[in-house]
Structure 1
Amino acid sequence: YITDYDEEEEMQYITYDGSEEASAQEIFLAIYQQLSPSRRKQLAQLEYINVKLCNECLIPCDSDTCEDSHEHDADFDLRYPGEEAILVYPHQIIMIDLYLAIEVPVGTVCQLMSRSSLAKKGIEVKGGTIDAGYTGNIGVLLHNNSNEPYEIQPNERIAQAIFLQLAPIEGMTSVDTREGLGESSHGTQGFGSTGKDEMEA
């Protein structure tokens, strides 16, 4: 094992050379034992979720239907798995079946969201909430919000999925008036109210 600490990034890098056969648990334990007490405490505070993908629902293509683009990305890219291009007319909404099924852990929700590269062309994702317990095929609703037709190519990235952990709700309290909700600096102002006073000044 080779350990290296990057002070600028405050990251501990540990490399396993693979010279000896070992299970993943044995490797993790060996690495864990080399960490300082403060690093062990940080590791213990991290929470991870396990997401299951149904491989049988994937259509073979040049690359996986769902892929993690970069190491520190918060989302996963979702590709169009079809073999022929699809033309989406201006202001048309279409459903694209990804032939992909996932098991979202309890206490977590999966959100399908627009990709910035398509959103700037007017192609947006609509209604993309996947609750825990749903294990059917996932479809993406795409809306062409532009005045020009758009052609979706095979294997093109059309959406992104992000997994969010939900805060448990212990209970709900009914109040008679809005004043019972408490006070805040934001209050009832919305729809671009932030920074509005500065612009008017």
Structure 2
Amino acid sequence: MPKDTYIPCLLQLFRHYGYDGATLARISEATGLGKASLYHHFPGGKDEMVQAVMDYLDAWLAEHVLPSLQGDDSALEKLQRMCDRLSELYEAGRQPCITATLLLGSARDLFHDRVQARYSAWIRAVAQVLVDAGLDLTTAQQRGEDMVITIQGSLIVAQGLDNPEIFQRSLKQLPQQLCQNLGT
């Protein structure tokens, strides 16, 4: 099978165990591939596996989240669509964020630039929606950062309390918070 077949499984493993906890033994068991087959598909080992997962997530973001911020709809409608897509990605708060797990432990330095680029692009896209709706650039940028803080924080708390409704509530409130004082 092509290596793309294993990306969803790898995503789950790295989401739940992080880079250090997703051992080759766990990966082998979850994918059904022996270590030799894993290295056949991913000669660069776990680093290449994580890169493949991040490529998948970057493509998902580019295909589902960023386009939701386009169009002639109001800023509020665009941001609500974005939150709907994020709810899909995180299974309504039942799945942790791989980005958070990768920034912990030994993998932080390996993937920091990639994570930083993803967050920066997302913040810029949200800030642009808010600027287009009449907000000044500095405030729009800060609200974009607040968006990431709200999403990541609510995911962590939802996981910690085993209560996905926390994430769902945050996503429901987020578009209104971002559009505060815009009149949308």
Whether these two folds match at TM > 0.5 is: no
- TM-score with structure 2 length normalisation? 0.29
Relative to total residues, which structure has the larger strand share, 1 or 2?
1
Q: Which has the higher contact order (CA 8 A, sep 6+)?
A: 2
- TM-score with structure 1 length normalisation? 0.27
